[in-house]
Each structure stands twice: as C-alpha cells, then as structure tokens.
Amino acid sequence: MQLTNKTDQCVAFKIKTTNPKKYSVRPNNGIISPGTTCNVTITMQAQKEIPPDYHCKDKFLVQSAVAEDGATNREVVSEMFNKAPGKVVEEFKLRVVYIPANPPSPVPEEVEEESSPTSSMLDEAQSSSMFDSAVKFQEGASVEKTSEALPLIAKLTQEKADAIEQNQKLRQQLGLLRKERARVRRGYSVTFVVIVLMLGILFGYLIKKM
C-alpha cells in the first residue's frame, strides 16, 4: 500500500483490519510529511485452504488526521483519530479481494454491475480523503516462489541420489579389494608351506646320502 500526502500539512495515519491475526501491517501508523509518500507492507499469513469462490470478508480501514508540524512516528496515538467537533478525521475503507494466480477470463459485466454500490462508496470516500491510497494483494507470489524452488529441490534430490549411488560403488570396490587382499595372503601362505616342504625333503635326502 502506498500513501501520499498531497497537502501542505503533516498527516498522521493509522491502518486497522478486521482480521489482525491474519494480516501483518508494517508500519500500521506513522507521520507523512507534506508532499511525501509512505510505503506500507501488508502480508497475509499462509492459509490452510483457499476460500470457496475466493470469497473474503476481510476489510482494512485507513484513518488520517492533521498532525502538528515536526511530529514524529512515536507521537502517533489512537486519540489522534477520535472524532470530535471541529476535528477532521478522514477514513478510507478497503475490501480484500482474492485473485487467482492465473485468472481464466476477465470479470463479467454482470459482476461489475452488482459491485457498483461498493465501488461508488469507495469513490466517494476517496474523493474526500486527504491522500491517495493504493493496495495490491498478490496471492500468486507464494506460488511463483514455490515454482522457482522446484528446480532447485529436484537438482538437490538428484545430487543426493548420485552421492548415495557413488557411495555404494565405493563400498563395493572396497569389499572387492579386501577379498583380493585376503586371497593374495592365502596364496602367499600356501607357497611358503610348499617351499618349506620341498626344502625339508631336499635336506632329508642330502642327509641320507651323507
């Protein structure tokens, strides 16, 4: 949400929502100097399921009031937005609308005509507001991030499988080397016994001749 102060006075703002546990608003209040803009980040918490027909009853209320010159964000309190005689407190209501990541087709004209009373109310509030507001909700952002992460997850999974396969091959090669080493040792021991036996026979034969 972007708030712009088009007046020559400091303006204090406060943002409320009908479902504070579902949305995170940063900052939710502050001071906007004349001719400047304030960016507000609204984050919706992850939902377990998509509402039927993308229907949502959540709303936001943006309040604004004239503040003293030199006021800071810490000086913004709830009492500044209490309505009183001679005090102007502007209010701008926003209704949350869920939009599919890939909408199938444009909105039919009948739907636009049905929502015309709400649109007229918003237009009337906007014309009397001291600053302009714009809100963008993107439900598809989480889907895009997930799609971007899928190739990385697949790559890591493949690398893990390759590493496991390489480890198994190394284990097999190590087992073969151990068997070969044991076989060579047994060959050496048999050869040694044969040599000793032949030397013994030869030695015995020489003794008999002597």
The DSSP result for 106-161, as a single string, is: PPPHHHHHHTHHHHHHHHHHHHH-SEEEE----THHHHHHHHHHHHHHHHHHHHHH
> CA-to-CA distance for 37 and 54, rounded, in angstroms?
31
Q: How high is the pLDDT of residue 74?
A: 92
Q: What is the pLDDT of residue 203?
A: 76
CB of 91 within 8 A of CB of 124? no
3-state secondary structure 46-79: CCCCCCHHHCCCCEEEEEEEECCCCCCHHHCCHH
> What does the pLDDT read at residue 3?
95
Tokens representing residue 92 in the block:
């701008």
Q: Are 65 and 90 in contact (CB under 8 A)?
A: yes
Phi, psi (deg, nearest 5) at residue 71? -70, 150
pLDDT tens digit at each of 210 positions of the chain: 999 999 999 999 999 999 999 999 999 999 999 999 999 999 999 888 877 777 888 999 999 999 999 999 999 999 999 998 989 999 999 999 888 777 555 555 554 444 445 444 555 555 445 555 444 444 454 555 566 677 778 788 888 888 888 888 888 888 888 887 777 666 656 677 778 778 878 877 777 766
d(CA 148, CA 146) in angstroms, rounded, equals 5
